[in-house]
Amino acid sequence: MGWEEADKGWGARAKDWAYLMESTWWPEFDRVLRDAGVGEGGRHLDVCCGSGLAAQMAAWRGAEVCALDASERLLNIARARTPEADIRHGDMHDLPWGDGVFDTATSFRGIWGPNQQAVDEVARVLRPGGTFGVSFFPMDAPSAWDDWWVAIARVSEHEQAQSAALGSIAESGRVEEMCEAAGLVPGERRLIRFEIEGGPEVEDFVRATLSAGPTWTAINERGQDDVEEATRRLFEPMWDPEVGLRIGTAVEYLVATKPE
Ligand SMILES: C[S@@+](CC[C@H](N)C(=O)[O-])C[C@H]1O[C@@H](n2cnc3c(N)ncnc32)[C@H](O)[C@@H]1O
């Protein structure tokens, strides 16, 4: 599938993704932006920025922000959120910026196992001494959120194969190898645990999950009813009438540095 195709799945429900799903991951954005040293006066790039909440948070920290994604419909929202940012439609494997022009870069669950060339590109556009924060789902830190992937994989065999390839970035030593191959020095892996705030009712989050790219694949294979039902069945036992739906999740990341 070419990079232009990403918009079919990720852009199909762009507003739901931006306002019901992406926004629930802010604790991850906050932590990685801080640890990567994104801040006042720095020039920052977010790769696979989606609808741009992390890019907006980088701008709030005082950075001059650039961002890129393959989904034009998500980018419309990213541009509305941060009009002053340089936000471009393109492929993470071929970044439209020159060598050494960024102080910091991030990618939040956007670069995966098969995307070595994307890491090479980040290394190219970083200045010597620049930092790169990259996050992904961990392999050895089970959380309630993992069960959602299992539920979706169960309804979509295609999604199962795809997720395994993408998730290989979390294998022991793999993301470190990818950074080293690109000429970056990887730091220690760090784990973040937080609770996704799914909403007051289970149905709110069932709607949110329909906006994720992998769900689009599953819907095309099995139909929306099956996908919704698999998600509903999973989350109903987690719902608390007093506090709504809270879902424990875990994300792993590391910060790599380009040698001076
Ligand atoms: C898991 S989402 C993460 C989005 C955002 N970083 C966030 O945390 O909400 C993956 C994103 O990667 C984008 N994407 C997929 N393939 C791409 C490619 N080849 N180049 C650029 N972006 C791509 C999708 O459009 C989608 O927005």
pLDDT at 159: 64
User: In this structure, is residue 179 part of a structural domain?
Assistant: yes
User: In this structure, is residue 154 part of a structural domain?
Assistant: no
User: In this structure, is residue 223 part of a structural domain?
Assistant: no
User: What's the 243 CA to ligand 1 centre distance in angstroms?
Assistant: 31
User: What's the 7 CA to ligand 1 centre distance in angstroms?
Assistant: 9
User: In this structure, is residue 152 part of a structural domain?
Assistant: no
Q: What is the pTM of this model?
A: 0.96
pLDDT at 153: 74
Give 200-242 pLDDT, tens digit per residue: 999 999 999 999 988 888 888 888 998 999 999 999 999 999 9
Is 204 close to ligand 1, i.e. is its CB under 6 Å away?
no
pLDDT at 122: 98
Is 17 close to ligand 1, i.e. is its CB under 6 Å away?
no
User: What's the 10 CA to ligand 1 centre distance in angstroms?
Assistant: 8
Pocket test for ligand 1, best of 16, 28, 29, 48 (most atoms within 8 A of CB): 48
CATH label of the domain that carries residue 11: 3.40.50.150
What's the domain count of the chain?
Answer: 1
User: In this structure, is residue 63 part of a structural domain?
Assistant: yes
User: In this structure, is residue 189 part of a structural domain?
Assistant: yes
Domain that holds residue 54: 3-145+163-198+250-257
Please report, in tens digits, the pLDDT of each residue of the chain (260 residues total): 688 888 998 999 999 999 999 999 999 999 999 999 999 999 999 999 999 999 999 999 999 999 999 999 999 999 999 999 999 999 999 999 999 999 999 999 999 988 999 999 999 999 999 999 999 999 999 999 988 887 887 777 666 677 777 888 999 999 999 999 999 999 999 999 999 999 999 999 999 999 998 888 888 888 899 899 999 999 999 999 999 999 999 999 999 999 99
User: In this structure, is residue 55 part of a structural domain?
Assistant: yes
User: In this structure, is residue 186 part of a structural domain?
Assistant: yes
Q: Do residues 129 and 255 touch, judged by C-beta distance below 8 A?
A: no
pLDDT at 1: 64
